[in-house]
Amino acid sequence: MKRRDAMKGLMTAGAAPGAFAFPGLNPAAAQSRAARAADPLVEKVKLAMLAMQREAWEQGVAMQGLLEWGERDMVVRMAHGALLRAYEDGRLGMVSDNHGVTDPAANGEGVLFAAKVTGDPVFKAAADRMLNYLLKTAPRRKDGTLYHIDDKPQVWIDSMYMAPPLLAVAGRPEEALKQVEGFRKLLWNKENRLFSHIWDDASNDFGRKDFWGVGNGWAAAGMTRVLRALPDRMATEKKRLEAYIRDVVDGCLAHQRPDGLSHNVLDDPKTFVEVNLAQMLAYTIFRGVKGGWLGAGYRPRADNMREAARAKVDTLGLVQDVCGSPTFEAPGTATEGQAFFLLMEAARRDLST
């Protein structure tokens, strides 16, 4: 009854603005349904996203996009879906055994939010199991840095987005920063100011040294989400993270084309022109300018990237030419491309209010 009553209230009226202090959601900027519908392109992108089949991390990033856009009732519905496909070890949203270690953690913020909104202990227990998996069970390096998959001793830059934000939101900011530092130590290229994609402990070498554009987007957006969730007492750590974000944004922008887009491998013009990095960087910049850790001079670059991405939305609401699912080796469509369109639009909206 408690869950049903809470869901009923959310679906009919929406949670009251300001009722829940939750990182990633600006209650003052959360809009009414009518106001959200004022941009039909966002609505089309959202509906296309909801029609897609989703792996664990895709369910998570979709929830994050909806949360920041203000679709809080839908977040609760999707959190319920993530619980239905949870492993006994705590991993959320596991619709297939793709060996994901950190990917399932992308669901954690949405599930925690559902727990706060509904008061239903089922959501809180699921979030706690996911957190416990990251802290105690998940495979990791000797220094504690999480592996990205459970069948190979590999660290991927994707993990920067998947695990640290949940750790920060769930009250483990020190562990969130420990993971950020671990990923950065292995994958950051100081000279190019970009992240390589994969480090492999078995070979003690890079599994993929390429400066994958979307991978650098995962890093920029992930660190942004961590930064926004850090407590005020961690002022020194915030400054360090702000510098990390500026570094990777600058590194990516150095390879941006005049049209606001970039190549899939940032320093390899033979690779295809890719759209999602533009959305990820625009999100990062809009949030950074709003938060004061990026200067206003970055905004024109973000506006350019946003316009390029909006021009890629087709009649069905699909953002075309992102790194495409399911292999992410060619241009196509993907849930994460849809979700980052929502995240980008939410960040721009909040910057303008």
SS (H, E, C) 67-84: HHHCCHHHHHHHHHHHHH
Are 309 and 275 in contact, with CB atoms under 8 Å apart?
A: yes
Is residue 204, in this structure, part of any structural domain at all?
Answer: yes
Is residue 140, in this structure, part of any structural domain at all?
Answer: yes
- Structure pTM? 0.90
* Residue-level pLDDT at 4: 40
- Residue owning tokens 């130590």: 185
Residues contacting residue 108 through CB under 8 Å, at least 6 positions apart:
60, 92, 127, 130, 131, 166, 169, 170
Is residue 283, in this structure, part of any structural domain at all?
Answer: yes
Is residue 116, in this structure, part of any structural domain at all?
Answer: yes
Positions of the chain with pLDDT under 70: 1-37
Is residue 21, in this structure, part of any structural domain at all?
Answer: no
Residues contacting residue 295 through CB under 8 Å, at least 6 positions apart:
289
Specify the number of domains making up the chain: 1
Is residue 16, in this structure, part of any structural domain at all?
Answer: no
Q: Identify the sign of the CA torsion 273, 279, 280, 281.
A: positive
* Residue-level pLDDT at 36: 53
Is residue 286, in this structure, part of any structural domain at all?
Answer: yes
At 263, which helix (H) or strand (E)? Answer: strand 262-263
CATH number of the domain within which 172 lies: 1.50.10.10
Is residue 134, in this structure, part of any structural domain at all?
Answer: yes
- Encode pLDDT of 252-272 as tens digits: 999 999 999 999 999 999 999
- Residue owning tokens 């979700």: 339
Task: Give residue 119's domain range.
Answer: 27-351
Rounded distance, CA 148 to CA 134, Å? 11
- Encode pLDDT of 202-255 as tens digits: 999 999 999 999 999 999 999 999 999 999 999 999 999 999 999 999 999 999
